Amino acid sequence: MIPRQVRKDKENKMTEPVAHIDNLTIQYPNNVVLNSLSWPIQKGKNYVIGGTSGSGKTTLAKAIAGLIPSNNAVQLNFDNNLPLPAKVVYISNWYQFTNLEGDRNFYYQQRYNHHQGHDTLTVKAELEHYAQKEKLDFSAIEERIAAFGFEDVQSSQLIELSSGEHKKLQLIRGLWAKPQLLIIDEPYTGLDKNSRIVLNKWLDDLVAEGVQLILITNDNHLPHSINSFAHIVNGKLEKVTSQSEFARDEKRQRKELPAFLREFPQTQYDTIAEMNNIHIRYGKKVVLKDVSWKVNVGEKWLLQGPNGSGKSTLLSLINGDHPQAYGHDLSLFGNKRGSGESIWDIKQKIGIISPEMHWYFDQNATVWHTIASGFYDSIGWFIDVKFHEKKQIEELLEFFDLTDVKHQNLNTLPLGKQRLAMLARTIIKNPPLLVLDEPCQGLDNDQAKYFNDVVDELAEYGKTLIYVGHYESQIPSCLEHRIVLEKGEVKAIENILDTVS
């Protein structure tokens, strides 16, 4: 017979919160993010935290995980009877990796220079290192790696991975650890449709083993094990019954585009890009295989394909960043690649935004300087702008409602505003070609609609557009054509209007 006091202690252990947050206050200069927030996280409650951009969701997650000081406002109560590690694992929105010397000083084009990629670990080495550190069995994760479609990248360098592949690596590491409390910030960022399904199944399996979840997302496609919802309003956590009750960002008030963006770009050519039988490989790894594609002036293209299908490499050929562009049958803006034009001649005609560019961007740049750097295609800002350029910057700040934050560093803004600042940078010189590579990654549906409404407006004035997006619900309505890649090959080129009708 179990003594009464022992039974009582076990009952108390069963009923006490997994985490108890009491009067948590976190503030930054001139900004109180969390204001005396209290939240008992009961055992068995698997939460989704949603709501408005910048409300403090990520700050709360980091405080629970012990990544930022909480002044003893967070108490964790792990269950010693569970076979799972008594710890919190926090998976951030973006994956931060280092080179072999522990440095993060990478540059944007470096991922395409294969000989420089060896400055980082391979995926397999990274996972093996993690397994050794956490005392994990590599064979226990191999089936999950295969389900994620991640087995073919084991020999790739970390710097060569696309944003979606980096997200998979983050998730594999974090879920492999099976902590008692698992917090994932934007779990679906950059994942293709099948990978999102695989992730949700894995999360449900972990819950069945005793893992407790907190997901930070406004996505509607959730694991079945999610049973609780909350958002943060005025620095305090409020529980709600469903995602439909989450606080939303204000609806965008449509404004007229600045006059300089209503001017049709001047082009003396009919074709933006034309490539024939392009073949790109790194050693034995084939990235693009016999790809042929033609983009005419004024066309609006959707580029799709699973994670790792070659989309980023294809775009790098067009924007001038890939060193293997030479020696192939590739023409850009009416000129054969390698016929004497410089990379800056090409970039002057292109405005580009991508998750990778956002990663490598100078996060200490102010919003104003971020937009200004678009005139010179720099990752940061180093040159004084002219008077008329300053006027255009101010017009875009007003158009995107960023005037009040123009002197703030880019990395201090909510993700939605950061993406708008990056879009402003992309269009500041009114280029004939816009390349928008997963521009809504990490944004909720309302923020994505705001962003894509602006893209639709820009498209009315003669811009050529190449848009990459996994979510059918988060793409602009102006798109006319689609090209689909799979394992480096073109699987389909079609008219979107025909497929819809």
Q: How many CB atoms lie within 10 A of CB 3?
A: 8
pLDDT score of 172 = 95
Give residue for tokens 């000081």.
69
Contacts of 445 (CB under 8 A, 6+ apart): 218, 473, 474
pLDDT score of 63 = 96
**Is residue 226 a contact partner of residue 47, using CB atoms and an 8 Å limit?**
yes
Token code pair at residue 442: 């990490």
Architecture per CATH, domain 15-245, reads as: 3-Layer(aba) Sandwich (3.40)
Architecture per CATH, domain 259-270+297-328+338-500, reads as: 3-Layer(aba) Sandwich (3.40)
Please report, in tens digits, the pLDDT of each residue of the chain (501 residues total).
444 444 444 444 556 789 999 999 998 877 889 999 999 999 999 999 998 888 999 999 999 999 999 989 999 999 988 999 999 999 998 655 444 444 444 444 444 444 444 556 788 888 998 999 999 998 889 999 999 888 888 888 877 787 788 889 999 999 999 999 999 999 998 888 899 999 999 999 999 999 999 999 988 889 999 999 999 999 999 999 999 999 988 777 778 899 999 999 888 899 999 999 999 887 777 889 999 999 999 999 999 998 888 898 899 888 877 666 666 789 999 888 766 677 778 888 999 988 878 777 777 889 999 999 998 877 655 567 888 999 999 999 999 999 999 999 988 888 888 888 999 999 999 999 999 998 887 777 777 888 899 999 999 999 999 999 877 767 899 999 999 999 899 999 999 876 543
Query: In 414-441, which positions are buried (b, 16+ CB within 10 angstroms) versus exposed (e)?
Result: bbbbbbbbbbbbbbbbbbbbbbbbbbbb
**Is residue 177 a contact partner of residue 86, using CB atoms and an 8 Å limit?**
no
Domain locations along the chain: 15-245, 259-270+297-328+338-500
Instruction: Give strand pairing partners of 41.
Output: 19
Q: Do domains 15-245 and 259-270+297-328+338-500 have the same CATH topology?
A: yes
pLDDT score of 117 = 45
Q: What is the pTM of this model?
A: 0.83
DSSP state of 187: T
Residue 90: its H or E element? strand 88-91
Distances (CA, A) of 484 to 240, 241, 472, 487, 492: 40, 39, 13, 10, 5
pLDDT score of 100 = 41
